[in-house]
């Protein structure tokens, strides 16, 4: 849930909350060609070292969601 980032409230100030369900399907078996394609994609997106941090600690999945949806701390 991302508080205060939803649609504007009727007859009041402020915004509602955003409730999202995320379904992630992770492939369990990749052949060599698929693995190489994923490595190429990561290189193009400059994600070869995906270790995002916040204040010196690793950034968790919810921190990344908050960043993606424009929420702040």
Query: Which residue range is the domain that position 73 belongs to?
Result: 1-21+28-73
- 65 vs 33, which has greater pLDDT? 33
Measured from the Cβ of residue 66, the count of other Cβ atoms closer than 10 Å reads 17
pTM assigned to the model: 0.38
Each residue's pLDDT tens digit, 40-55: 988 888 876 655 566 6
Cα–Cα distance, 67 to 45 (Å, whole number):
17
The DSSP output letter for 54 is: E
Q: Considering its fold, how many domains does the chain have in total?
A: 1
Each residue's pLDDT tens digit, 16-36: 999 989 898 878 888 999 988
**Span 9-17, mean pLDDT?**
89
Cα–Cα distance, 69 to 12 (Å, whole number):
23
């Amino acid at each position: 849930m991302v508080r205060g980032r939803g649609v504007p409230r009727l007859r009041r100030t402020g915004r509602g909350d955003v409730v999202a369900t995320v379904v992630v399907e992770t492939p369990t078996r990749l052949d060599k060609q698929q693995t190489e394609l994923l490595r190429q994609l990561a290189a193009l997106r400059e994600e070869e070292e995906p270790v995002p941090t916040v204040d010196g600690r690793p950034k968790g999945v919810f921190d990344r969601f908050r960043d993606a949806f424009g929420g702040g701390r």
